[in-house]
Amino acid sequence: MLLNVVKSTVLVALTTCVLNAGEFNAQAEIDRIALADYTIAKFKDADKNRDRFFPYSTDSELKTNIKKDVSFDELRMGNYAFSLQGQFSYNEINEMPPYEELVEKGEEIYNSNKALRKCFPDVTVGGNYPYFDEKKKEVVSLTSKINECLTNDGQKAWNQKKGKMPIFQSYIASQTKDAEKKVDIKISSADASAAYERGKEYYYTQRGYLNLSCATCHIQGAGKRVRNESLSQLSGQTTHFPVYRLKWGVGKVENGLGTLERRMAGCIKDQGQVPPKTDSKEMKELLYFMAYMSNEMNVDGPDVRK
């Protein structure tokens, strides 16, 4: 569906954002702008636009739960950008966020690990990952960069989904947020552009026994309800990681924090697919595409989700 939107908004995008045809991120910028425009239009007035975007939603849901006039900046909040009921519980939880003590542990890990301090002299870099390494010709995620730093120093690699990894990442995200930095993903070569396109293809490809794609739920389905939750939108989806999920934290608080790789693996399983390995080329390029779609948004992590 978004591909059709992209085609129909190319001229508009090109008039609102001056693009050099020789720039390697030209198509990615067209995609990003079209996605943001589509999402903002979707939540301009859900009740008024029900025939276009919400044909199966109830009157009550459209009138009392979906906020009108959601702004570009608010999209970084995921489904709390538009869900009025969700915002209420979200604000209550964040009065005493369950991840707060874990951010402090992340700082302790950083201060006690010389290799990490050397690899990350500036910890306000949460919005710069994943990036495309022009020498290695591959996407480098924050998770893979941290483990590379550890193993190069003779230390054991961390679990890529939970434990020390998201705890340390929560410190980086928190520092990036406090510095008021934005997501800033670069596409500076033909190889980087190709990696972005492969990530985009993965996001839009229907697969698995349910024949779903990521886009089915998070572009066409954004704002629609699945059981008791509203599906979040792709725009802004990576800004708030690592995330503390209440269901993950049952029994042990530290398990509540998870990396973006952990969340994506679980989401892909829910689609009836076998997810790519967390350190695979497919996963890294998928995250590269997703992160680019959040460019120019403030880093908002760590955050809490149900």
DSSP 260-290: HHHHHHHHHHHTT-PPPPTTSHHHHHHHHHH
Residue 236 sits in a domain of what CATH number? 1.10.760.10
Range of the domain at 219: 2-98+180-305
Contacts of 211 (CB under 8 A, 6+ apart): 272
Q: Is 270 exposed, middle or buried (0-12, 13-18, 19+ CB in 10 A)?
A: middle
Residue 107 lies in a domain: no
Digit-by-digit pLDDT tens for the chain (306 residues) are 454 544 444 334 443 444 454 599 999 999 999 999 999 999 999 999 999 999 888 898 898 889 999 999 999 999 999 999 889 889 998 899 999 999 999 999 999 999 999 999 999 999 999 999 999 999 999 999 999 999 999 999 999 999 999 999 999 999 999 999 999 999 999 999 999 999 999 999 998 899 999 999 999 999 988 877 789 999 999 999 999 999 998 888 889 999 999 999 999 998 899 999 999 999 999 999 999 999 999 999 999 998
Residue at 238 is within a domain = yes
Task: For residue 153, tell me if it sits in a domain.
Answer: no
Q: What are phi and psi of 304, to 5 degrees?
A: -120, 140
Q: Alpha carbon 34 to chain centroid distance? A: 17
Tokens 């590269």: give the residue: 288
Is position 249 within any domain?
yes
How does strand 243-245 pair with strand 303-305? parallel
Query: What's residue 220's pLDDT?
Result: 94
**In total, how many domains does the chain have?**
1
What's the pLDDT at 197? 98
Looking at the annotation, which residues are catalytic?
A: 267
**How many other C-beta atoms lie within 10 A of the C-beta of residue 269?**
12
pLDDT at 227: 75
Q: Is residue 133 part of a domain?
A: no
Residue 158 within any structural domain of the chain: no
Q: What's the rounded Cα separation, in Å, for the pair 167 and 110?
A: 10
Q: Does 10 reside within a domain?
A: yes
Closest CA to 200 of 188, 189, 213: 213
Type of residue numbered 138: E
Question: What pairs with residue 226 in β-bridges?
Answer: 229
Q: Closest Cα to residue 80, out of 67, 63, 64? A: 67
Residue 304: per-residue pLDDT = 94
207 belongs to a structural domain: yes
What per-residue confidence (pLDDT) applies to 267? 94
- 164-178 vs 100-112: helix axis angle to the nearest 10? 100
